[in-house]
Amino acid sequence: MTDHTLIFGHRGAPFDFPENSLAGFKYALAHHIDGLEFDVHLSKDQIPVVIHDETLDRTTNGSGRVHDYTLKQLRNFHLANGEPIPTLKEVLSLLAGQNVYANLEFKTNKIHYPQIEEIVLQMVKETNLVHPMIYSSFDLQTLRNCRQIDPHQNYNFLSSHRIFHPEKTIKKEGLSGLHLKHYQSAGIIQRVWTVNDEHKAKLLLQHGITGIITDDFEKITRLRDQFEKKTQLITN
């Protein structure tokens, strides 16, 4: 990892493009984003697809649960810009060989898909990523399953609540860090979501946060760059 705070596009670039869309990911990559965050479910035929919700209703013209459809059936639905729901393979193809970090969230806290960990880890392993994938989930069991398959990857627990004794949690679960809704003043690797407010972002930068996950990566990246430039002037 890097010493400075990395800025991650939350589901791509959702202020300008549909969330978790190839168009949003391509835009972010073309504008030199530090990292991309995206979500993964499994189709009925166990193909990893990139979509946030367990259901199609909010982000596509379809309805019902993602895992009730095969990939071929899912391709009949589209996002607001007309694109189909992307597969994980398509997103990984965009990331291959790119100097960009990626945060893959297993969306298993409501529905656990059998074998999702094995399928996803193998697919990522076969991709030529410049930086190791950053995995996260609200479901600790998913992360435990991942560690049994490959204990050497970057696993992070997601929580919208305060974690008591975060260092102990990280050590006990064999995690790399935490992905939190609110910053915790502890000497741990943590990335905070979803930060769109400049004041909150500045406070996190002052704390030397590992990463910021935001809907507006261009604004927060400019803020980060200005902060680092100012800090360098002061220290020099």
**How many domains does the chain fold into?**
1
Q: Are 135 and 101 in contact (CB under 8 A)?
A: no
Q: Are 35 and 9 in contact (CB under 8 A)?
A: yes
Beta-carbon contacts of residue 121 (< 8 Å; ≥ 6 apart):
146, 149, 150, 153
Whole-number Cα distances in Å, 227 to 88, 139, 184, 234: 34, 34, 21, 11
pLDDT, tens digit only, all 236 positions of the chain: 667 999 999 999 999 999 999 999 999 999 999 999 999 999 999 999 999 999 999 999 999 999 999 999 999 999 999 999 999 999 999 999 999 999 999 999 999 999 999 999 999 999 999 999 999 999 999 999 999 999 999 999 999 999 999 999 999 999 999 999 999 987 899 999 999 999 999 999 999 999 999 999 999 999 999 999 998 888 76
Marked catalytic residue, from 4, 32, 41, 52: 52
pTM (predicted TM-score): 0.97
The yes-or-no answer on residue 165 being catalytic is no
Q: Are 61 and 82 in contact (CB under 8 A)?
A: no
The yes-or-no answer on residue 52 being catalytic is yes
**Domain carrying residue 126:** 6-235
Which pLDDT score is estimated for 186? 78
- The CA-CA-CA angle for residues 129, 227, 132, to 5°, reads 15
Which pLDDT score is estimated for 1? 61
In a domain, 149, yes or no: yes
- What does the alpha-carbon distance between residue 113 and residue 117 come to, in Å, rounded to a whole number? 9
Backbone angles phi, psi at 128, to 5 degrees: -85, 80
CATH number at 222 reads 3.20.20.190
Marked catalytic residue, from 10, 41, 67, 179: 10
In a domain, 1, yes or no: no
Which H/E stretch holds residue 68?
Answer: none
In a domain, 38, yes or no: yes
In a 13 Å sphere around the CA of 167, the CA atoms on its Cβ side amount to: 4
- What does the alpha-carbon distance between residue 98 and residue 7 come to, in Å, rounded to a whole number? 16
